[in-house]
Structure 1
Amino acid sequence: MGELRSIASPFVASGPTGVAVRTRLKDLAPGDETVLRVVGTHLGSLASKDLKARCRDGLEHSGEMWAVRKRELTPLSSSRWAGSITKASHDQWALARRCQLAHLQNLEAGVRTLTHRLSLPVGQKGTKKAPGGYRSQREWHAKSRRLRVLQDRLDAARADREAGIVHVVRGGKQLARTRHHLDAAQLTESEWRGRWEAERWFCQADGESGKRYGNETIRISPDGEVSVKLPAPLAHLANAPHGRYVLACRVAFAHRGGEWADRVAANRAIAYRIHLDTGRDRWYVTASWQIPVAQTAPLEAALAQGVIGVDMNADHLAAWRLDIDGNPTGSPRRFVYDLTGTAEHRDAQVRHALTRLLHWARACGVKAVAVEDLDFAAEKTREKHGRRKRFRQLISGMPTGKLRARLSSMADQTGIAVIAVDPAYTSRWGAQHWQEPLTSTTRKTTRHDAAAVAIGRRAQQHPIRRRTTPPPQHRSDAVGHRTVQAGPGVPGREGTRPRIPGPRTRSVPPGRGANAGNQNAQHRPGRSAEHGSWQQDSLPLSL
């Protein structure tokens, strides 16, 4: 058995640091929609110019430059609008830098893999830890050309990062490219233009504690009245004092409405964003605020009532409940979701599956859910998996980061702890040690169900390998539980046990003893040993 990599200890994942809730702006008057469109277009143009200025500053940006940009935007909007625009530009630039670093690391991994495989002879076999050479001279030549392409991209990306250059598209790069493929997207030019302009609007304002209802720019009163502070050039559109515009509709937040109302009553900071869903032609307002990070429970306390191990797959969550000793109880559960379609549909599918999982956990009385700490950032590259295109698409479509974030946020409201475990060998060892023993005539245990058991046992810090059933008392010592379970410090304790030749107990099955070949020595009924006194003489040849 090869050398196994070290396995990290399980830990309780931290809870969310913020809350975002959304509600619909119903029954808007025609004048309300017109004002929102004008405000969004005006502020969106300012946001585009400010983002361009922030990208031009690059690494030389400083607090003084930030103040200069804000002072330039203030006469065209207001002091608070200018603060929201400049902060959004700074956050978008920082996000682009992080994405640029991830792209660099991806290119470097591809170059390393191609360089290694091209240095090997054609047709050389690989190992489990390192790939071999390419299978033909034609493939070797194609990969050598791709290596030059990746090296050029890597050099360009490194030069941009050193110079502080980022590439950002307000409205989204995907939507911008859709303009050239309207037939494939089933959109007309006017429909695309409407989406493009709506995505580039800017109508969001940061909150401020101590101010009335927690936000002076976009204000929502406890009774649901929505008012917007108009920019200075649009002050003539106001229908309320102090340059404000009050919408005709009233809003109410169904989810976490009590928390929102408490913050509004206490004048605590709440950020708002008004946006248009062009697909449904509906206006929405999103409220968000920060919350203190909840103190995570100790690992032992979270596992006091057992744990539910969850194995995430491309189309479902496989879950199994384990007791405090690491034994699977009951039957496995499967929570199916569909990750095709739009992003909103995929997100709703993930939330629905997690909701059912948490409801089941509460019904079982379990206070912890164990999941794998998956990260496919380095495992889904084209150079690593080669022709396995379906597998690359599979792992690329698994929402590992979104699922972890959703689960930790939703579990925080139900009092259930989320335990992250190392994903090494869980599927392999789960299938090896648990799939067959848990399969019966009425239940077919899948590989994913067995992996869920392995994940739960690792969260409980139990070895994944099963304990061997002790022999009966009349064949063994009667003074305790005898087992072959290896200790925590034994190397290779998760490996397969060596086959011991010979009979496994003192009882020797019939026909397997020392005298198995001598039928007369066994003294069985009907054997020649019982009729030794009777013998037929040979017939005479003549009389």
Structure 2
Amino acid sequence: MGGLRELTASFMVSGPCGVAGRDRLKYLTAQDEGVLRAVGAHQGALASRDLKARCADGLEHGAQTWAARKRELTALSSSRIAGAITKATHDQWALARRGQAAYIQKLAAGIKALRHRLSLPLGEKGTRWRERWEAERWFLAADGESGKRFGNETIRVTPDGEVSIKLPVPLAHLANARHGRYILASTAGFAHRGAEWADRIEANRAVAYRIHLDTERGRWYLTASWQRPVVQTARARGMIGVDTNADHFAAYRLDRHGNPIGGPRRFFYDLSGTAGHRDAQIRHALTRLINWAVRAGVAAIGIEDLDFTAEKTREKHGGRKRFRHLISGMPTGKLKARLVSMAAEHGLSVVAVDPAYTSMWGAQHWQRPLTTRHRKMSRHDAAGIAIGRRALGHPVRRRTAPPPHDRSDRAGHRTAQAGPGDRGREGTRPPTTDRPPGGPPPSGKRKRGTSASNTVRDAPSTHRWVQDSLMHTG
């Protein structure tokens, strides 16, 4: 057998880190709209002035100039608004630098169109464009802050939907509530993720808000957004190992020690037909897989690395032609996006593992022991176990090497498969072999001494662990 390539480490796939929802602010009074326009125009002018100062600093910008701009804006608004404006200015400057080349090419055409539209009399074609141009430059946004009431001190939305704004100092005379706040006549409620939003504000966790005017429809909207904590794997709750195939997902549930629980599960799909049909098939299969994982009570799903990184070369997947052909024929982009986002919605982590040798080693070490009269095991089912064990940080093999001669059983068949107190753990076990099920028996006596090997082994777990007894359930 030739040398096998080195396995890459498993890694946690990054899930979505933020969400947002939007609701229309209906039944605003004329006074409400007047205040929103005044606040937006005032703070927009401050943001424009700050952007001008940032552009003047150019590459000489630093922490001291940033602090000076923030102090100047604080006197005209508040410290939170000043921080939000300077942060937005910095992001806008960085974006402009990245797109400078494209901007220069389009600058001449943009100036020509702008001069033409500004030259039009009021009411002529192009006036609506001017209104949209101005509305896009208003600044009616505020970052959230955990610990503050309802998660935002500047734009506050109560659980009942009451929307209030902390007015800047020059516009404090427009306030209709205490502490320089203006309460809108409209109430807000988020149909999308409303329960999640309500849980956050009642716990005073940070929620960012943005108010903007849709000039085409003449409607005001409120957008709420927040970040989600990164979901971490809880090994104590076990893992679902998933082997990806041309027409189905082969999944197996494992406990925290890497022992298979129950029987194999298969979730079929059909990748023929149109792109919409393939996408729907993948979505339905993933829905059934995730629902089963939730019912099983696990915290993570282990899956082969279906190009969760940008690398697609032969060096990434080695000589495994079947797997390379599989991922080239699957909508892996949609599969990755759907799996990660759908798993995050249910509090599940996704662990990507190196797909090398999972089918071969799974069949060698798990297919035969788990096959019974009432349970048929395929290589794909066994590969799901191998993937799950690798995602948990355990070796694929069922047994560990015997202890040295200074231990009690003198290099006997001790394994890590049975824990203390398990029935039959001291019984005689069949000798382990390196041949797959149905293969020819090994020649000669099994070697006990150490020798050089060209077979890559799974890296052992860095922590001490003891496995439960192997369960055979019909």
Please classify the TM superposition score into its range, dividing by the shorter chain length: 0.5 to 0.7
Does residue 265 of structure 2 align to residue 331 of structure 1? yes
Pick one of 182, 191, 203 that aligns with 1:244.
182
Q: 1:354 to 1:395 in 2, by over 3 A?
A: closer
Secondary structure of the 1:456 match is helix
How large is the RMSD of aligned CA atoms in angstroms? Answer: 6.1
Q: Is the 8 A contact 1:219 1:228 kept in 2?
A: yes
Match of 1:309 in 2: 241
CA distance in 1, matches of 2:26, 2:43: 24
Identity within the alignment, %: 46
Q: Render the CA deviation track for 1:29-72: whole Å, top value 9, x for unaligned.
A: 36456765665566456546645655765664322111222244
Matched, 1:422 2:385: no
Equivalents in 1 of 2:246, 2:342: separation in Å? Answer: 16
Task: For 1:3-152, list aligned pairs within 5 A.
Answer: 3-10=3-10, 13=12, 20=19, 22=21, 24-25=23-24, 27-29=26-28, 31=30, 32=32, 36=36, 39-40=39-40, 43=43, 46-47=46-47, 50=50, 54=54, 57=57, 60-74=60-74, 77-90=77-90
Q: Partners in 1 of 2:131 and 2:330 — Cα distance?
A: 33
Equivalent-residue separation in structure 2 for 1:335 and 1:194 (angstroms): 50
Q: Distance in 2 between matches of 1:430 and 1:284?
A: 54
Aligned to 1:262: 202
User: Any stretches of 5+ residues in structure 2 without a counterpart?
Assistant: 102-108, 110-125, 317-323, 400-426, 436-447, 459-474
Q: Which residue of 1 is the match for residue 114 of structure 2?
A: none
SS in 2 for 1:332: strand
Q: Which has the larger radius of gyration?
A: 1
Determine whether 1:370 maps to 2:302: yes
Q: What amino acid does structure 1 have at the position aligned with 2:333?
A: G
Separation in 1, partners of 2:244, 2:45:
43
- How far 1:255 sits from its partner (Å)? 2.2
Counterpart code for 1:420: V
Q: 1:159 corresponds to which residue? A: none
**Structure 1 residue runs without a partner (length 5+):** 97-163, 170-176, 178-188, 468-477, 496-543
- Name the CA distance, whole Å, in 2 between partners of 1:20 and 1:229: 24
Partner Cα distance (1:197, 1:313) in 2: 53
Q: CA deviation at 1:491?
A: 3.6
| Distance (whole Å) between structure 1 residues aligned to residue 300 and residue 241 of structure 2 | 9
Tell me the CA shift for residue 373 of structure 1: 5.6
Aligned twin of 2:429: 480
Q: What SS is found at the alignment partner of 1:458? A: helix
1:455 aligns with one of 364, 381, 387: 387
Residue 218 (structure 1) shift: 0.2
Alpha-carbon offset, residue 356 of structure 1:
5.1
SS of the residue 1:481 aligns to: coil
Following the alignment from structure 1 to structure 2, what is the Cα–Cα distance between the partners of residues 71 and 19? Answer: 30
Work out which of the residue numbers 96, 99, 118 in structure 2 matches 1:167: 99
Amino acid corresponding to residue 288 of structure 1 in structure 2? W
Deviation of residue 336 (structure 1)? 9.5
- SS of the residue corresponding to residue 370 of structure 1 reads strand
Q: What's the TM-score once normalised by structure 2's chain length? A: 0.54
Q: Residue 108 of structure 1 corresponds to which residue in structure 2? A: none
Q: What is the rounded CA distance, in whole Å, between the counterparts of 1:427 and 1:195 in structure 2?
A: 57
Query: Structure 2 matches for 1:316-465, cutoff 5 A?
Result: 319-322=251-254, 324-326=258-260, 329-333=263-267, 357-372=289-304, 377-379=309-311, 397-398=333-334, 400=336, 404=340, 407=343, 409-412=344-347, 418=349, 420-425=351-356, 429=360, 452-461=384-393
Instruction: Specify the SS of the correspondent of 1:219.
Output: strand
Contact 2:240/2:298 (8 A) holds in 1: yes
Q: TM-score, normalised by structure 1?
A: 0.49
SS of residue matched to 1:4: coil
- For the 8 Å contact 2:294–2:346, the answer to whether it is kept is no
- Distance in 2 (alpha carbons) for counterparts of 1:296 and 1:223: 36
Report the Cα offset of residue 352 of structure 1.
8.7
Give the drift of 1:295. Answer: 7.9
